[in-house]
Structure 1
């Protein structure tokens, strides 16, 4: 893959504006700006706690990094490999990826998804993300996207597999299991995750 999908200056400005819009939407949704504990931590590593998904990074940050790898791959397919849309829209791939990630962050903090997590995953006490965590999650996706733009695809694939295996080993959860349990929950996986 080439570096052609790296954003130009206008796309970077658009990305920053999108982040500000997400912050405004999350505040309008009454999401807390920071953790109710009153602190902002660089890392919080206890999954089953009231501070999970409240700080700048946690065990789910690798999943958002992988989102960036995946979004870059699909942007590369659409614009570089298949040549869809013509012209130079590929330079807008990053803000488009941010829109997709932001839509998930907003949807993830609706009562529907919060309750879904509580019902079918090991996140029994999940209350949604703080605003700073949601913005950091988008930031991790951006880091993954830019990383994928700068390294060979085999490196991106290897990192994604490593993160999936490592987080499954450490917390019995990862991007694959998270999506599976939201869409098609399996009791056997929920029991295995609850043993951690």
Structure 2
């Protein structure tokens, strides 16, 4: 059991501030990349149910939100494996760094074009800054969930998320990564078939 002293408390606080700075840096870089702050529709929704709609990746949450929660599960596992002796706040700062780097890369012209050409996201034009920021928030929630819950429960939730979104929208984290890295025509055909 870890006992907290003023020293360890101060170190943890510094790592949490570092995570917050990385999060704010993500938002700032996206702004200077020319990303729209919120949906061009002019309003903010809690959840965008359309997958191939102009509102996808523009609002607070969408059907890709479970993927970002799973990112948090995976980043927690990664941090636990590689940085086991480090504090949870250090591992969280690393997770925020990885997620922020991905969000910036995902919204670059190179990756946006790759999504359009290789995945089911034919009309994808990138995330709004709000959606990208919320993706990092949801990753953080996933990370914190994984840090508190038994491994079996975290793995079960990840599998349920993957199966449910795979069934409902014909896409999930696994398919998204597969199609981004190694597009398969049969998967693209299945994804584009009407449900």
State the TM-score, normalizing by the size of structure 2: 0.91
In the TM superposition, structure 1's runs of 4+ consecutive aligned residues that sit over 3 Å from their partners are 88-91
Shift of 1:91: 3.6
Higher relative contact order (CA 8 A, sep 6+): 1
The answer to whether 1:126 aligns with 2:124 is yes
What's the counterpart of residue 74 of structure 1? Answer: 78
Residues 143-172 of structure 1 show CA distances to partners (whole Å, capped at 9, x for unaligned) of 000000000111110000000000001100
Aligned length: 186
Distance in 2 (CA, whole Å) between partners of 1:52 and 1:143 is 21
Decide which of 65, 69, 72 is 1:61's aligned counterpart.
Answer: 65
Asked if the contact 1:79–1:90 (Cα under 8 Å) also holds between the matched residues in 2, the reply is no
Please provide the CA RMSD for this pair. Answer: 1.6
Asked if the contact 1:40–1:55 (Cα under 8 Å) also holds between the matched residues in 2, the reply is yes
What are the ranges of 5 or more consecutive residues in structure 2 without an aligned counterpart? 3-10
State the TM-score, normalizing by the size of structure 1: 0.91
Shift of 1:9: 2.0
Residues 48-71 of structure 1 show CA distances to partners (whole Å, capped at 9, x for unaligned) of 111100011000000000000000
Q: Secondary structure in 1 aligned to 2:83?
A: helix
What are the ranges of 5 or more consecutive residues in structure 1 without an aligned counterpart? none
What's the counterpart of residue 21 of structure 1? Answer: 25
Residue pairs, 1:151-162, within 5 angstroms? 151-162=149-160
Asked if the contact 1:72–1:145 (Cα under 8 Å) also holds between the matched residues in 2, the reply is yes
